[in-house]
Amino acid sequence: MMRVLVLDLALAGAAPAQRHYRAMALTRALRDLPEVETALLAEPWTAITLARAHRCNRVLALGPGAFPEAVLERLRALCSVTRLDAAALQPAAAPEFSAFPVADAFLYDVFHASGERPLPAAVGRVRRETARRGAASAFLPFRAGPAREGLDRVAPRELARFANLSLATVLDAGPAARADFLAAAMESALAGSPLLVQSDLAPWLEGWTPGQDYLAFHDLDELPGLLESLRADPSRRRRLALAGQGRVAAHHLYRHRAECLLRDLPDAIPPAPEARALHVLHVLGDALLHDRASAPGRLLHGLLETEDETVHRLYSSPAHGHYARLLDARGEPLRRMRFPDFLRPTRLLCDDREQAFSRLLREEGIDVVHIHDLTGHTPTLIPLAAALGVPVIWSARDDRALCHNADLRDDRGAACDPRRVTPQRCDVCLERRHGFARGRQAYRRTLWNAWLRQCAGLFFFRREALELHADLLPAAARPAAQALPEETPEAVRAVQAAYADAAGEWRWPRSAAPRDGKRLRVAEMQAGIDEFWTEQRPLAKWREIAGAVLQSQRRGRTP
């Protein structure tokens, strides 16, 4: 049985909405095939995580566009990867997702299913006419606003719902309409809405008959008359809607194309596992390197001094410095990286440090990232490692997730009382007037919760710390979070077991050679991941999630 992952690369290049739609339709068609056990749709920053979680043995990367080579190379170590040109797949519809019975009553007079701008004066006349009669009227654009991360197309179910409740669906020949015309036409017709198509776009509907499957118009001034004729003759409107719906269901589904696609794919080449030692990268601050008295320091040195085959690397940075160092298990420097600015405790992003970290993961062949202390680093290292398929273990003692300051102290040295920390605020942040607006602490904790949820393991040195985090952050209340034993040897064994569980059989390949035998140069690999992470980092998604959580908290309900 095949377990297929469809990698949607619609975020790169032109006409992203149309290719994104093709990826959705292809995934839904693959799920119906008997030889396919699982079919998943993923974007570049979630592909490795989903492929690993669902044990996928096939990856279909839909282009064209700039492929994130570092992500694809990591996927090649897990399963067989095939690149496809999305332009060769004509848009089609999936009836189980958006088909509705033809409605006899409607709420809207016209549904404008293509283009970014409102229709010209013709729609204004339709509005005035319907307003004079007191009938319902609405203009619903295909796009609600400017493009956002390339995913500017409305969901198929939402498009189908509006089309089903409209007297007719209009598809005009504007510049933006051509990119999404077929996708909009297929979904609208399946929703049971008669199509009014401008004659310039009629050749795109191959096999459709004007007057029987849809109505064609040359000029937008003809729209009011066509809408009036459909309103006056409900039986004609119903015949047009049923004819278009049947035409789509008979000729424009992806099932046959998915069968041909799987039949033409080359035989899957299972990745050759390479037996080698586990490579662990420890992220910490300089102060923890020489600390053997505290629990985090004892845990770190206990892991480094364990006699096994594990290869340890230390990624260290000072609290207020312009550089970071890579050290071996004995503390000997291997390389030094310099950055244009240093981090502040309140800073969440630093592109230069993230790019250097991604290079480090690839060049050192890291299997597991263990974060001991984020002083001098950014929390976005967690989603960066997750996007590259490297599991993260968290055992940091600083409480940036609870308070904006690394050591729970303000600039006057006053300490936060953990018993007075609430999900919305920190007592020092508000009482000492750090300049944090009301609700901002909840926003930061929402981001932290999303980041910690991507960790494969969360370890706390005290049971009280685990309970406090679990009260404030849902990510700390899951089974992956646990309190470490007080004895250092037992704590070391617990963390080592987490390493083995997180890494499993999915090790980073030491060789960068793809399956066709051509070796990728490290410079090309790094250019790909730098461009991928810098330009397509899904930070906007985290901000949207945080905004939704804050709004739901103000309403008093959980999102």
- Determine which helix (DSSP H) or strand (DSSP E) holds 544, and give its type and residue range: helix 539-555
Q: What's the CA gap between 557 and 371, in Å, rounded? A: 33
Name the E strands within 292-332. 311-317, 323-328
Report the candidate in 456, 484, 460, 486 with the shortest Cα–Cα distance to residue 472: 460
pLDDT (0 to 100) of residue 404: 52
pLDDT (0 to 100) of residue 118: 44
Residue 528, CA distances (Å) to 365, 505, 520 in order: 17, 26, 11
- CB 5 within 8 Å of CB 51: yes
Q: Domains in the chain, please, with CATH?
A: 2-93+257-264 (3.40.50), 97-251 (3.40.50.2000), 279-510 (3.40.50.2000)
- CB 292 within 8 Å of CB 298: yes
Entry pTM: 0.56
Q: What number of CA atoms fall less than 13 Å from residue 241's CA on the CB side?
A: 26
Q: Exposure string (b/e) for 501-513, b if CB count within 10 Å is 16 or more?
A: ebbeebbbbeebe
Q: How many CB atoms lie within 10 A of CB 247?
A: 21
pLDDT of the chain, 559 residues: tens digit per residue: 788 888 877 654 434 445 566 677 788 778 878 888 888 888 777 788 788 778 888 888 877 656 667 777 778 777 888 887 766 565 554 444 456 788 888 777 777 776 544 444 455 555 555 555 544 444 443 333 333 333 334 555 667 777 888 888 888 766 555 556 776 787 788 888 999 998 888 887 777 889 999 999 888 778 888 888 998 999 999 999 999 888 876 655 566 667 777 777 766 555 555 567 889 999 988 888 888 888 888 999 999 988 888 889 999 988 777 888 999 888 888 999 888 877 765 666 777 888 888 888 888 888 899 999 887 888 888 888 888 888 899 987 655 566 655 445 544 555 566 566 665 555 555 444 444 445 556 667 777 888 888 888 999 888 877 887 887 788 888 888 888 888 888 999 999 988 888 877 444 443 333 333 222 223 233 333 333 333 344 455 555 555 555 565 555 544 3
Q: Over the stretch 447-479, which tens digit does the pLDDT of each residue have?
A: 788 888 888 899 988 887 788 788 778 888 888
Q: What's the CA gap between 244 and 92, in Å, rounded? A: 13
Q: Over the stretch 396-413, which tens digit does the pLDDT of each residue have?
A: 765 556 665 544 554 455
Tokens representing 29? Answer: 């068609």
Report the candidate in 488, 489, 491, 470 with the shortest Cα–Cα distance to residue 479: 470
- Determine which helix (DSSP H) or strand (DSSP E) holds 370, and give its type and residue range: strand 368-371
Q: What's the CA gap between 457 and 451, in Å, rounded? A: 12
Q: What's the CA gap between 75 and 523, in Å, rounded? A: 19
Q: How many CB atoms lie within 10 A of CB 302?
A: 17
Average predicted confidence (pLDDT) for the chain:
71
Rounded to the nearest 5 degrees, what angle is found at the Cα of 48, between the Cα atoms of 45 and 52? 150
Q: What's the CA gap between 134 and 184, in Å, rounded? A: 29
Alpha carbon dihedral 230, 236, 238, 242, in 10-degree steps, equals -120
Q: What number of CA atoms fall less than 13 Å from residue 139's CA on the CB side?
A: 19
Rounded to the nearest 5 degrees, what angle is found at the Cα of 291, between the Cα atoms of 331 and 311? 35
Q: How many CB atoms lie within 10 A of CB 277?
A: 12
Rg (CA), the chain: 28
pLDDT (0 to 100) of residue 235: 93
Q: Give me the helix-helix angle, 351-364 and 522-536, nearest 10°.
A: 140
- CB 458 within 8 Å of CB 470: no
Q: Over the stretch 486-525, which tens digit does the pLDDT of each residue have?
A: 888 899 999 998 888 887 744 444 333 333 322 222 323 3
Q: What's the CA gap between 56 and 361, in Å, rounded? A: 23
Q: What is the DSSP letter of 260?
A: H
Q: What's the CA gap between 458 and 54, in Å, rounded? A: 22
Instruction: Region of 88 please: left (phi>0), alpha (psi -120 to 50) or beta.
Output: alpha
Q: What's the CA gap between 10 and 87, in Å, rounded? A: 11
Which residues fall within 8 angstroms of residue 460, CB to CB, at 6 or more apart?
Answer: 395, 466, 469, 476, 481, 482, 483, 484
- CB 459 within 8 Å of CB 408: no
Q: Over the stretch 86-121, which tens digit does the pLDDT of each residue have?
A: 665 655 544 444 567 888 887 777 777 765 444 444
Q: What number of CA atoms fall less than 13 Å from residue 115's CA on the CB side?
A: 18
Tokens representing 41? Answer: 């749709």
Distance of CA 191 to the CA centre of its chain: 28
